[in-house]
Amino acid sequence: MRCIGCGVHIQTEDETKLGYAPPSALGKEEIICQRCFRLKHYNEIQDVSLTDDDFLKILHGIGQSQALVVKLVDIFDFNGSWLPGLHRFVGNNPILLVGNKVDLLPKSVKYPKLIQWMKQSAKELGLKPVDICLISAVKGIGMQRVMEAIEQYRDGKNVYVVGCTNVGKSTFINRIIREVTGEGDVITTSYFPGTTLDMIEIPLDDGAAIYDTPGIINHHQMAHFVDKKDLKTITPKREIHPKVYQLNEQQTLFFGGLARLDYVKGGRRSFVCHFSNDLLIHRTKREHADELYEKQLGELLQPPKKSYADTFPPLVAHSFTIKESKTDIVFSGLGWVTCNEPGTQVVAYVPKGVNVLLRKSLI
């Protein structure tokens, strides 16, 4: 028995696996799997994630065809959601860089400046996109513009949307489905050569299609170190309100119990913190910081919550001297602290496995 939508073998045992259909559906003349059912009736897709190997195969496949690649990044977690090496795999195909979740940035951020910043950052990471768009898939900001850009750069060819998990790819694709097809149109899933994965195919007027590729897991994201509830706390839901701390040398800021910043040397300075509004920031003297962390992890300093505190990986120190004015100290997947003056010495702490880096200030 096969699904009339995607051709997958129908099974009725495991709801989380491909090809599931409820037993009641078996009596019908034409059987459709749950995934296609949702697509057909609700125009809604769910994300699937996959291993690095399969992902590389997909990228390789894209490189061998002629297509426009739409690369989605989370603007709040730019580096953490970046897919490294994409340009090496997609051949000569143009890449349209799309920054999602602009709704989280403070209103004071100017889009042209942000686009310039993205261009520069992409260049430093080895990517030269044909164009850059800013959107909020959730709020629907910038969708018109990005659809126009896709139409312009695809030049009659297929489109592949790539991005790591959690950048908002499903939300983005669901919006496109609504804009492109409207209700009632049948959306097929398509089997990608070389992998065991099918992709969502959104047919376009001229016979080409937009393909949603599965998301790749970025192992350095803070999201992997916290449970679902804590993830809610650290993921901003609304526009973030920067918090300014005037610090003296030898003072420490804790970001919940997930990260820490020691201000070592440089006179009295201000540090502008950009994190989820729900994440508690705690200031203390540097000499007390170790002890406080030991005693208060999971209590005063949370997330992680108490039950996770014992198994939470130890924080690892990374020392930096700020070289340029207006530099962000980025805690991957959590947020960043902007430091305005060069010469400032800091030590940033993150759980082992999470990235911390410096970049030219985004704001």
Q: Which residues bind ligand GDP (CB under 6 A)?
A: 47, 100-101, 103-104, 136-138, 163, 165-171, 215
Nearer residue to ligand GDP within complex by CB, 146 or 315: 146
Q: How far is the CB of 76 from ligand GDP (least distance, A)?
A: 8
Q: How far is the CB of 212 from ligand GDP (least distance, A)?
A: 9
**Using alpha carbons only, what angle is made at residue 359 by residues 326 and 219, rounded to the nearest 5 degrees?**
145
Q: What does the alpha-carbon distance between residue 148 and residue 142 come to, in Å, rounded to a whole number?
A: 10
Nearer residue to ligand GDP within complex by CB, 171 or 189: 171
Nearer residue to ligand GDP within complex by CB, 227 or 291: 227
Nearer residue to ligand GDP within complex by CB, 166 or 302: 166
Nearer residue to ligand GDP within complex by CB, 83 or 253: 83
Residue listed under structure tokens 């080409």 = 208
Whether 203 contacts 181, CB under 8 Å = yes
Instruction: Report the candidate in 177, 217, 212, 187 with the shortest Cα–Cα distance to residue 197.
Output: 212
CA terminus-to-terminus distance, the chain: 55
Nearer residue to ligand GDP within complex by CB, 31 or 98: 98
Whether 338 contacts 272, CB under 8 Å = yes
Q: How far is the CB of 356 from ligand GDP (least distance, A)?
A: 22
Q: How far is the CB of 41 from ligand GDP (least distance, A)?
A: 19
Q: How far is the CB of 180 from ligand GDP (least distance, A)?
A: 17
Residue listed under structure tokens 């409207």 = 182
Q: How far is the CB of 140 from ligand GDP (least distance, A)?
A: 9
**Using alpha carbons only, what angle is made at residue 84 by residues 80 and 86, rounded to the nearest 5 degrees?**
135
Bridge partner residues of 145 (DSSP): none
What letter does residue 191 receive in the DSSP assignment? E
Tell me how far apart the 2 most distant CA atoms of the chain are, in Å. 76
Q: How far is the CB of 146 from ligand GDP (least distance, A)?
A: 12
Nearer residue to ligand GDP within complex by CB, 110 or 232: 232
Chain position whose Cβ is nearest to ligand GDP = 168
Q: How far is the CB of 264 from ligand GDP (least distance, A)?
A: 34
Q: Which amino acid is at 323?
A: K
Neighbouring C-alpha atoms within 13 Å toward the C-beta of 344: 30
Nearer residue to ligand GDP within complex by CB, 170 or 302: 170
Whether 357 contacts 331, CB under 8 Å = no
Q: Who's near 294: CB < 8 A, 6+ residues apart?
A: none
Go through 276-315 and write b for each residue having 16 or more CB atoms within 10 A of its CB, e for each that does not.
Answer: beebeebebebeebeebbeebbbeebbbbbeebbeebeeb
